[in-house]
Every structure is written in structure tokens, then in C-alpha cells.
Amino acid sequence: MTGLGVIAPNANGVADFEAALREGRSGLRRNEAMAEHGFACQVAGVPQGADELAEKSFDGELLLAMNQSHRFASLAAVEAWQDAGFARPAASDETVDWDAGAILGTGIGGMDTIAAKVIPLVDAKKVRRLGSTSVEQVMASGISARVSGILALGNQVTTNSSACSTGTEAVVDGCLRIRQGLAERMLCGGVEAASHYIWAGFDAMRVLAKSWNEEPERASRPMSASAGGFVPGAGAGVLLLESLESAQRRGARIRAEVLGVAVNCGGHRGGGSMTAPNPEGVARCIQGALADGGVDPEEIDAINGHLTATGADPREIGSWSRALGRGPGRFPLVTSTKSLIGHALGAAGGIECAASVLMVERGFVHASRNCEDVHPEIQPFAGAIAHETRALPLRAVAKAGFGFGDVNAVVVFGKWNP
Amino acid sequence: MSEEELFEKVVEILRPYAKNAAALAVVAPETNILEDLKVNSARLVDVVLAFEDEFDIEIADEDVDAVETVADCVSLIQQKLPS
């Protein structure tokens, strides 16, 4: 793991993101579009200043063809590429990097563009006014395709989608491709645009936080007794995974090691459904990632959970405890990045994997805000919650992402010891 | 609007799409949009939409087929502008 790129509600860029994590900086604000359209939840996590960054980084036809997902993903991918020590190629440079690819996912895809452009123009019988950029903006793979064009990537370039586990799944898939020897470097992560059209269905399901519209920074409350749903978010998080041989050959700075990975599905059985995880599936996925990396559960010094601030949080903590064989008193430190930025859906895994890498690399567990009132079922584990940022060396951090469809993805990041 | 002004506006609209900066720097009426400026042919529909917005005109698809140079754009727009 040699490069990181982040566009998040509380920070743009890795350096400021690390500062934001350490400060426990919230990126949640009142959202006028949600208020205007009568949403129950009127709070969201929206990256600030990303358009200005995109206008500095991209120009001409490229900029004109980008919707918000493309901008978030491209900014984060270029940052990850450069963070790893690679130069961004000129558009006129015909060299293709056949050993580098991208798996950059999205949960919802081009819904913002569909809602804001495609439907109004088609309904108004102005189809030709869509111009040439509509397809590339609404096709799910437009995100990874855009990045491949900017960085001249010649290996596998694709967009995965597994709801809220998307970004974490991308890291798993990229890792496996490199292990197979099919690529040397893969940009992996997820992106989601900020759009009330994307969030509307979640509001209708009554899974969004609706009681904290006047106190946005308190609205995302993972592990709290007063949690009443998640706060929607947006952004992009991208990791550059690289084979150890490639990283060492070029003397790259190694931020962390991907120790073990796993994905699975609970099969919508045993309490699992389209919208809820089968706890056995979750536990098997966690154990699968540990087994994959030969990681002793005792080496997991921190968990960055999926932990969205819904009723699933207590079950998730229970699953971690069973899977690791570590009960109250022996449970690792636990935090939820969503307490700071909300739930960025398809981008969540990318941004939160980036947070997990920073934690294991730099030796800290960031504050998990808004659970002063720990949920009664989590109370036995209360001592493990990082209410404040803690600085301490970490051997390994486990990151999980669970998604609608009963799908799970887990990555264990390890401290790199050369 | 003078022909010079019209030419300048057309060039400004083409500018972000032109991948050949050197050709753009010496752009002239006879400059070919696809071959000299290296505009991606798929983006021509966006250029036409920009002409429509800038000059408040409508351009039919069949009119676009005959356009090759910057001068072709200028004359097409002149035809569509109310006299």
C-alpha cells in the first residue's frame, strides 16, 4: 500500500484528512437541498471545495465531461498515484502503463446526472441536448474509465458495485489481482456523488438520522443509544495497492501492508435480508480475512467498523466479538469514521480504508464521536470505544464494510516493518 | 456582429476541445477542426450545442455533417443568425 487519495466531507487530500481524523473534525452540515425537498433527514456530509480543486487539476474537454463522481474519483486517484511517487502523465504522452489498473466502485452510480439531466431533458423532448457526455457520466464504469484516461492505465480497469461494501470490496479485488500476478499496481476504492436524488430512497426507508437537523455535527451517532439512522455522505477514497516487489524495486514509501482480505454474502438467511446482514456471514467474512493473512485475532489492535448508526451496530459489535473470540475487556479499540463524515455509501469503504491505513501507519485511533450515551447492548464493550483520539502503536487494523444485499468485505491492514 | 468577432467566439468555444495547442495558437479560418485541432469527433455534438447556446440558434444534424473548418462554423452560424 504505497499511495492514498481522499476527497471527504471533513477534508480534501491525505494530509488534511489525517489532521481531521486526529482532531475528530466533523464534515456534517445542514443540507439545503434536503430541507427544500422535504426530507426527514436534512443533514449530510458533502466534500467542500472539490470543484475548485478539479478546476485546478483538470481542464478543457476533460473537465467539461466530468460529473461530480468523476471529479471526486479523479482527484483522489491522481493524489493516490502521486502520493505513491508516480508522476501524472501528460495527455500527449502515448505511453500506457500495462501493469497498472483500477477498480473504482460506486454504490449508486450516475443517479445525480440521470436525475438532473437525463430525465428532465428527455421528458422535455430535448434528447439531443444531452450532448456527448451523458453516457460516460451515467455508465457505472465511467468512474474507472475516466481515471484510466488521466493516468494511462493499461491493466484491468473496472467499476465494482456492492452497495455500502463497494470501496472495501474494491481493495479486496485489487489485492487479489496483484497476488495472482496479473498486475503490479491497482488503484482501488470507491466514490459517491452528493445528491439528494441519491439519498431520497434511503430517507423513504426511514434509515436516515432525522432528529438532529439543527445539530449536524451530532447527527451521526454510531454505537450510541440515541442513534436513529445514518447521515448520508459523499466523496472518494482511493488506495494504490502495489506488489511488494514493485514497491521495493523502486524504493517506494510503504504506508501499510494488506495482510488479509475476504468478501462474502450472508445469502439473505439466518436473519440476513436485502437490508440486514446475516451475522454468521459477517463473522465468517472477518474470520476469512484473518485466515487469509494468517493473522492472530490478538494482533488486531483496532477495528474501524462499518458502524453506520443504525440498529445494526450492536449486532456488528457482537459479530466482531464472536469472530475474534475476544469478549468485553479483551475487545480491540473500536472507532467509526462515519461519526465524522456520515455514510458515504459506495465511497465509504474507500475513505474508511484510507483512514485505517493512516491509523496503522501513524499509530493512532481516531475519535469516534457522538456515542457518549453508549447503546445498552454495546455497554459491555464501552471501554473499547475511542471517544477521543488515542495515539498508540498498532500492529493491525481491521476494516469492514457491509452492504445492502447482505454482502460483506473485510480488509486487515498491518503496520509495515521493513 | 462582425465576422472577426464571430470567428473569435467560435475559436473560444472550440478551445477546450482542441487537443493540439500548437494548431490552436495559429488558428485560421481554414483550420480543420478534426485533423488540425484534433477535436475528438464524439465531442462535436457538444460544440454544436455550445454554438446554439452562445448564438441562440438551432443547428440541424445534417448541417453539421458539412462542417470541417473553423470558417465552415462561422458561415453556418451566419446562416442561422437572424439577418
Q: Where are the domains of chain B?
A: 3-80
Residue holding cell 502495489?
Answer: A242
CA-closest candidate to residue A20, choices A301, A334, A359, A310: A359
C-alpha A405/C-alpha A96 separation (Å) is 37
The greatest distance separating any two alpha carbons of chain A, rounded to the nearest whole angstrom, comes to 64
Name the burial class of residue A243, with classes exposed (0-12), middle (13-18) and buried (19+) by CB atoms within 10 angstroms of its CB. Answer: middle
Tell me which residues of chain A have a C-beta less than 8 Å from any C-beta of chain B: 59-61, 63-64, 91-92, 128-129, 131-133
- The three-class DSSP label of residue A282 is helix
Helices A50-57 and A68-83: angle between axes, nearest 10 degrees: 60
Q: Which residue of B has its CA nearest to A64?
A: B16
* Distances from the Cα of A293 to the Cα of A256, A258, A287, A290, A346, angstroms: 14, 8, 10, 5, 25
> Any idea which fold A257-414 has?
Peroxisomal Thiolase; Chain A, domain 1 (3.40.47)
Q: For chain A, where do the domains classified as CATH 3.40.47.10 start and end?
A: 3-249, 257-414
C-alpha A334/C-alpha A286 separation (Å) is 15
Q: How confident is the model at residue A33 (pLDDT cuts 50, 70, 90)?
A: very high
How is domain A3-249 classified at the architecture level of CATH?
3-Layer(aba) Sandwich (3.40)
- Please tell me if residue B19 touches chain A, with a CB cutoff of 8 Å: yes
- Please tell me if residue B12 touches chain A, with a CB cutoff of 8 Å: no
CA distance B64 to chain A (A): 13
Rounded to an integer, the average pLDDT of B41-69 is 94
Provide the pLDDT for residue A418. 85
Contact residues on chain A for B42, CB-CB shorter than 8 A: 132
> DSSP assignment, residue A165?
T
Q: Given CA atoms A6, A11, A13, A17 in this order, what sign does their dihedral have?
A: negative
- The three-class DSSP label of residue A199 is helix
Provide the pLDDT for residue B1. 84
- Please tell me if residue B49 touches chain A, with a CB cutoff of 8 Å: yes
- Please tell me if residue B22 touches chain A, with a CB cutoff of 8 Å: no
Question: Mind listing the pLDDT tens digit for each residue in A36-63?
Answer: 999 999 999 999 999 999 999 998 899 9
Mutate to test the interface with A, among B14, B20, B49, B64 (most CBs of A within 10 A): B49
Contact residues on chain B for A59, CB-CB shorter than 8 A: 16
Single pTM value for the model: 0.96
Contact at CB, A61 and B40, closer than 8 angstroms: yes
Question: Mind listing the pLDDT tens digit for each residue in A222-268?
Answer: 999 999 999 999 999 999 999 999 999 999 999 999 999 999 999 99
CA distance B42 to chain A (A): 6
One-letter amino acid identity for A164? Answer: C
- The three-class DSSP label of residue A249 is helix
C-alpha A69/C-alpha A327 separation (Å) is 41
- Please tell me if residue B40 touches chain A, with a CB cutoff of 8 Å: yes
- The three-class DSSP label of residue A397 is strand
Contact residues on chain B for A61, CB-CB shorter than 8 A: 16-17, 19, 40, 43
Mutate to test the interface with A, among B15, B41, B43 (most CBs of A within 10 A): B43
CA-closest candidate to residue A409, choices A295, A298, A260, A276: A260
H/E segment holding residue A375: none
Overall residue count recorded for chain A in this entry: 418
C-alpha A218/C-alpha A85 separation (Å) is 38
In what order do the strands lie in the sheet containing A3-8? A11-12, A3-8, A235-242, A185-192, A100-106, A157-158
Contact at CB, A60 and B15, closer than 8 angstroms: yes
Residue B83 clears pLDDT 80, i.e. is over it: no
For chain A, state the CA radius of gyration.
20
Question: Mind listing the pLDDT tens digit for each residue in A168-192?
Answer: 999 999 999 999 999 999 999 999 9
Question: Mind listing the pLDDT tens digit for each residue in A286-343?
Answer: 999 999 999 999 999 999 999 999 999 999 999 999 999 999 999 999 999 999 999 9
C-alpha A353/C-alpha A3 separation (Å) is 12
Mutate to test the interface with B, among A59, A127, A128, A130 (most CBs of B within 10 A): A128
CB-based contact A362:A267 (threshold 8 Å): no
DSSP string, chain B: --HHHHHHHHHHHHGGG-S-HHHHHT--TT-BTTTTS---GGGHHHHHHHHHHHHT----HHHHHT--BHHHHHHHHHHHS--
C-alpha A188/C-alpha A77 separation (Å) is 9
ipTM of the complex: 0.87
Of B16, B44, B49, nearest to A129 by CB-CB distance is B49
Contact at CB, B17 and A133, closer than 8 angstroms: no
Overall residue count recorded for chain B in this entry: 83
C-alpha A388/C-alpha A365 separation (Å) is 8
C-alpha B27/C-alpha A154 separation (Å) is 34
> Any idea which fold B3-80 has?
1.10.1200
CB-based contact A301:A395 (threshold 8 Å): yes
Of A59, A61, A91, nearest to B43 by CB-CB distance is A61
Provide the pLDDT for residue A74. 98
CA-closest candidate to residue A172, choices A278, A73, A74, A259: A259
